């Protein structure tokens, strides 16, 4: 019985340790990036460099590594799904490089990252492509205290990352068009709050920057009010019946 209680105590200590460690980075770190999206218009066989700024607003020095991967947006279905570089047919992650790809930032300082996009001279490059630039905190693994008899033989890597989305539209891609598939009120019967959902389908070849708004009219007074929903963009896909907006 005592042995079981000792094991249970170890499990509880480990669980509490992991729970606290999981929340420390978000509270202890204070880092920002700008901008969070890069838009390129590069022709086949050409290249272009843009810049991202990473600012350390914390009180300690931070180390970061830059990685590139693919992503597919889930649109209204949830969060974006990240994949290995080159896994997506819409990928441009292997065309990207960062200078520097590893760096340290002192408190209150800003690091400039040069993001180079080199587009190959191939037919596949004449399409809209996108990728994710992941700026990940690099931190040494913390080992348990060897002098603590109740410590568990494990370590925890405290880390977090920022993601900047990268979009490449060849200059030859100019067709932009879209259509509204549906506009519905999904609020439950009797509810005062309304839930209005609009589905938009990208029917063109380029990424669309959407700026929609709603206009309400009071039928009794004639008073009008215009409400601007959040900014979105809609990606172009091989299968036009698939909707994905961020």
Q: Do 77 and 64 form a contact (C-beta atoms < 8 A)?
A: no
Q: Do 65 and 159 belong to one domain?
A: yes
- Cα atoms in the Cβ-side hemisphere of radius 13 Å centred on 11: 6
Q: Do 115 and 229 belong to one domain?
A: no
Q: Do 164 and 211 belong to one domain?
A: no
Q: Is residue 121 part of a domain?
A: yes
Domain edge (last residue) among 144, 168, 192? 168
Q: Do 163 and 185 belong to one domain?
A: no
Q: Do 153 and 208 belong to one domain?
A: no
> Residues 165-218: pLDDT tens digits?
999 999 999 888 888 888 888 888 888 887 888 788 888 888 877 777 788 888
> Residues 20-70: pLDDT tens digits?
333 334 334 588 999 999 999 999 999 999 999 999 998 999 999 999 999
Distances in whole angstroms, Cα of residue 114 to Cα of each of 48, 54, 131, 198: 10, 11, 16, 38
Domain edge (last residue) among 149, 168, 187? 168
Domain edge (last residue) among 118, 140, 168? 168
Domain count, the chain: 2
Domain hosting 13: range is 2-168
Q: Do 153 and 224 belong to one domain?
A: no
Residue 98's DSSP bridge partners are 115
């Amino acid at each position: 019985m005592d042995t079981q209680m000792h094991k249970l105590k170890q499990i509880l200590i480990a669980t509490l340790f992991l729970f606290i460690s999981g929340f420390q980075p978000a509270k202890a770190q204070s880092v920002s990036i700008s901008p969070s999206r890069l838009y390129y218009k590069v022709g086949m066989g050409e290249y272009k460099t843009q810049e991202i700024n990473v600012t350390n607003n914390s009180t300690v020095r931070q180390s970061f590594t830059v990685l590139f991967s693919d992503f597919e947006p889930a649109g209204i279905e949830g969060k974006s799904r990240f994949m290995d570089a080159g896994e997506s047919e819409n990928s441009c992650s292997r065309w990207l490089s960062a200078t520097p790809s590893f760096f340290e930032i002192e408190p209150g300082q800003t690091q400039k990252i040069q993001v180079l996009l080199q587009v190959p001279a191939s037919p596949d490059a004449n399409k809209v492509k996108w990728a994710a630039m992941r700026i990940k905190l690099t931190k040494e693994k913390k080992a348990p205290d060897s002098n603590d008899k109740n410590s568990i033989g494990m370590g925890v890597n405290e880390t977090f990352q920022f993601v900047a989305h990268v979009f490449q539209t060849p200059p030859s891609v100019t067709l932009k068009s879209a259509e509204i598939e549906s506009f519905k009120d999904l609020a439950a019967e009797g509810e005062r709050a309304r839930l209005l959902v609009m589905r938009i389908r990208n029917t063109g070849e380029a990424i669309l920057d959407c700026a929609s708004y709603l206009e309400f009219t009071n039928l009794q007074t004639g008073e009008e009010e215009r409400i601007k929903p959040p900014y979105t963009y809609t990606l172009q896909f091989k299968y036009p019946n698939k909707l994905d907006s961020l």
